[in-house]
Amino acid sequence: MASMSTTSLRTWSAIHKWSSLVCTLFMLLLCLSGLPLIFHHEIAHALGTLVESPRLPVDAPRADLDRVVGVAQAIHPGKVLQYLGTDEDDAGLWFVTLGDTPRDDAARRTVIVDARTAQVLAEPRFDEGVMHVLLTLHTDLFAGLPGSLFLGFMGLLLVAAIVSGVVLYAPFMRRLRFGAVRHSSARTRWLDLHNLLGIVTLVWSCVVAVTGIINTLAEPLVSLWRADQLAEMVTPYAEQPPPRQLVSVQRSLDAAQAREPSMAVSFIAFPGTEYSSGHHYAIFMRGTEPLTSRLAKPVLVDAQTARVTDSRELPWYVTALLVSQPLHFGDYGGLPLKLLWALLDIATIAVLGSGLYLWAKRRHAPVTRLATVGVSGPRPS
Amino acid sequence: MSRDRFLACWGWPLALGVASAAGLIGALLADGMADLLATAALSTPMAAAAWYIARARR
C-alpha cells in the first residue's frame, strides 16, 4: 500500500523471492505435465484408446451385475474383485477392477464390460504409456505418498508467493496504469508482463493451487474417513469373521438403490478394499445434478444378506476433496472450459518464467531496489 | 490511500477476480448454457491481458 514502510516492503520481497525460488521449478513441471492432462479424454479419443460402449437403444435392458463381474473374473481367475466403477460420460460401461488381494494396487487389472450385453469390451492398462508417466509425475513424482505431500508443500509455497505478490503489486503499480507494458528495456517489459499476467490470473491460480494441495492429501483423507466414519458404521461387525460366500452384487445394488431412489450408482467397493469394510459392499451413490453428481454417499450393504446396514453423508473433508477435483482438473464445463484452462496454465508458465528471469537479472542488486524499478525512483507517500 | 487511488490500482484486478470466481463456481453449479456463460466470465482475465499486451505492441 502507499503507506508500506521500507521494512515491510523488504520483508514481503524476501517472502516473494524465496517462496517462488523454492517452488518455481516444481511448479513449471506441474504446469507442463498438467497441460496435456487437461485433455486426457480428448487425447485418448484421438489415439483410439478411449473405450466407448456400442450404440444400443437407450432403453436396452441392463445386464445382471453378477454376470458382469463373472466375465471379468473369468479373465483373471486368480484375482479377487475390488471395484465396479461407472463412467459418468458413458452409462453403457462398467469398469471392473481386480487385484491379487482386496487392497493390492501393484498387480491391479481392469476389465471394461458392456453394461447391457455383459460383453468384454477392453482390458486397458492404466499403469503404462506417456499419459500415465505424466499423471504420476504430476501427482507424486514417482515417489508415492511422500512425493505427493512434497508437491503439496510446494503448492503451499506457491500460495505464499501469490499472496506476497499481491501485497507487492500496489507499490509496484503506484505510478502505472493498470495493464501498462513498458518497452523501455527488456527488464521493465518482463516486469510489467509478470505483474499484469500475475494479477489477472490471481483467482484462478489460487483456486488451482489450493485444490491441488487438497488433492495431494487424498490418501490421508481417505484413511481418516476409514478410521473415523467407516469404523463407526461397521462397529457391530468388529468381532465377526469375514463372510465366506459373498451375496449377489446385483441384489446388493438393488438394496442400495431402493434406499436412495433419487441417486445413481457411482462405484461399488467389494469387501476388504480400501473403500469398504471386510463385511460389506460399500455402494457409493451420487446425485444427478451438476454439483451433486460430483459428490458421493456410501451405502453399506451386508455382503452375506444383501441388507442395507448404514448410510451416511460423507464427512466435510472428503466432500472438500471431491469438490476440489473438478476445480483442479477443469473438466466440468466442456471443451471451451478445458481450452481456457490450458490458456490460464500457459499464462501461469509465463508468470513463473518471467519471475525467474527477473530474479536472474537482479541477483546483484540490493533488495530495496525491487520496488524502485517499478516506480522509477522512490518517492515519499 | 484515497478511494480514487485505491480504485485506480485495484479496480480492474477486483473486477476480473470477481468475474473469475463467478465463472469457476458457476460452471460447477449448472450445465449447458450456464457452462458457456461461466467460461466467458472466466475468460475475461485472459481477454484483458491480451488486450493490454496487444496495445503495448502498437
CA distance A145 to chain B (A): 29
The DSSP element (H or E) to which A299 belongs, if any, is strand A297-302
Of A200, A327, A332, the CB nearest to B45: A200
Task: Give bridge partners of residue A310 from the DSSP assignment.
Answer: A300
pLDDT at residue A1 in the model = 45
Instruction: Tell me the chain A residues in contact with residue B5 when contact means C-beta distances shorter than 8 Å.
Output: 2
Nearest residue to A208 via CA among A219, A218, A216? A216
Helix, strand or coil, per DSSP, at residue A89: coil
pLDDT one-digit tens code per residue, A14-48: 999 999 999 999 999 999 999 999 999 999 999 98
Amino acid occupying residue A232: E
Block residue for cell numbers 473403500: A275
Other residues' Cβ atoms within 10 Å of the Cβ of residue A261: 7
Helix, strand or coil, per DSSP, at residue A180: coil
Q: How far apart are CA A368 and CA A237, in angstroms?
A: 66
Q: Is A360 exposed, middle or buried (0-12, 13-18, 19+ CB in 10 A)?
A: exposed
Say if CB A306 and CB A247 are below 8 A apart.
yes
Helix, strand or coil, per DSSP, at residue A313: coil
Q: What is the largest CA-CA distance in chain A?
A: 81
Q: Is A235 exposed, middle or buried (0-12, 13-18, 19+ CB in 10 A)?
A: exposed
DSSP state of A94: E
CA distances from A378 to A6, A10, A25, A364 (A): 10, 14, 32, 19
Of all residues in chain A, the one with the smallest CA distance to B5 is A174
**DSSP states along A182-228:** --SSHHHHHHHHHHHHHHHTHHHHHHHHHHHHHHHTHHHHHHHHIII
Instruction: Tell me the chain A residues in contact with residue B55 when contact means C-beta distances shorter than 8 Å.
Output: 179, 181
pLDDT one-digit tens code per residue, A209-256: 999 999 999 999 999 999 999 999 999 998 899 898 999 999 999 999
Q: How far apart are CA A232 and CA A166, in angstroms?
A: 45
- Note whether A326 contacts B: Cβ–Cβ < 8 A: yes
Chain A interface disruption, residue of B28, B36, B44, most A CBs within 10 A: B28
Q: Does pLDDT of A379 surpass 90?
A: no
The ipTM estimated for the assembled molecules is: 0.95
Chain B interface disruption, residue of A203, A210, A343, most B CBs within 10 A: A203
pLDDT one-digit tens code per residue, A341-366: 999 999 999 999 999 999 998 755 55
Chain A interface disruption, residue of B39, B51, B53, most A CBs within 10 A: B39
DSSP state of A107: S
Instruction: Tell me the chain B residues in contact with residue A197 when contact means C-beta distances shorter than 8 Å.
Output: 49
Tell me the mean pLDDT in the region A113-129: 94
Of A174, A192, A332, the CB nearest to B28: A332
CB pair distance less than 8 Å for B28 and A327: yes
User: Chains A, B: CB contacts under 8 A, how many?
Assistant: 101
Of all residues in chain A, the one with the smallest CA distance to B31 is A290
Strands (E), A50-127: 80-87, 90-99, 109-114, 120-122
Instruction: Tell me the chain B residues in contact with residue A182 when contact means C-beta distances shorter than 8 Å.
Output: 56
Q: Does pLDDT of A169 surpass 80?
A: yes
- Please, what is the average pLDDT of chain A? 93
CB pair distance less than 8 Å for A193 and B11: no
Which residues of chain B are under the pLDDT cut of 70? 1, 58
Instruction: Tell me the chain B residues in contact with residue A326 when contact means C-beta distances shorter than 8 Å.
Output: 28
Of B1, B29, B46, the CB nearest to A347: B46
Of B1, B16, B38, the CB nearest to A200: B16
CA distance B27 to chain A (A): 6
Q: In the structure grid, which three cell numbers stand for residue A277, read together?
A: 469394510
Q: Does pLDDT of A194 surpass 90?
A: yes
Residues ≥6 apart with Cβ < 8 Å to A273: A82, A83, A102, A103, A282
pLDDT one-digit tens code per residue, A58-99: 889 999 999 999 999 999 999 999 999 999 889 999 999 999
CA distances from A174 to A47, A180, A268 (A): 51, 12, 58
* Start-to-end Cα distance in chain A: 10
pTM above 0.95, yes or no: no
CA distance A310 to chain B (A): 29
